[in-house]
Amino acid sequence: MKSIYLFPHTFKKIGLFLFLPCFMLLILFQFYDSPSFMEFTIWTPITDDFLTKTNPTHWIKNNLTDEILSITAIIGGLFIAFSKEKQEDELINEVRKSSLIWAVYVNYGFYILMTILVYGFDFLNVLLLNVFTLLIVFIVRFEWYKNKLKSSMDDE
């Protein structure tokens, strides 16, 4: 079966190389300061006072560590989640589809629960985590189900 919407199988290893260290560093920098050499003056279309400010030029000083790590981790997670398997068939596609549906349900269930339980500035951390929840739940369930199928086929 031809899957034109999937990355080649080798992207899975690249994804692991990108996702794991970047995600761990994102967690680490939630507790420790980001490196100061990553501070830059950058342009942004939206600032804290964008509704009241008449000057359309928005230059701010910002540490880009979390942005770079987040984008790299998301790309790595997409490579892991949506790379072809060595043996790609209809069963794997069905497992992929059901895992994706399951991950969306879990992701939004988590989001709804956290919306009820977490308030204020801490909710931004929930939103950051929620960006990765969908990918992580999908990858874990897909790999778990794949291994379950493989072990049941090995038992036969």
Is the same domain home to 44 and 99?
no
Separation CA 89–CA 86 (nearest Å): 10
Last residue of a domain, one of 85, 101, 133: 85
Last residue of a domain, one of 37, 69, 85: 85
Last residue of a domain, one of 30, 55, 85: 85
Question: How do residues 102-145 score in pLDDT, each as one tens digit?
Answer: 999 999 999 999 999 999 988 988 888 899 999 999 999 999 99
> Where is 41: in which H helix or E strand?
strand 39-43
Separation CA 144–CA 85 (nearest Å): 14
Is the same domain home to 96 and 40?
no
pLDDT at 79: 96
Q: Which domain holds residue 117?
A: 89-156
pTM: 0.85
Is the same domain home to 40 and 110?
no
SS3 for 104-145 is: HHHHHHHHHHHHHHCCCCHHHHHHHHHHHHHHHHHHHHHHHH
Question: How do residues 29-69 score in pLDDT, each as one tens digit?
Answer: 888 888 888 888 888 877 766 666 666 667 888 889 999 99
Domain count, the chain: 2
pLDDT at 151: 85
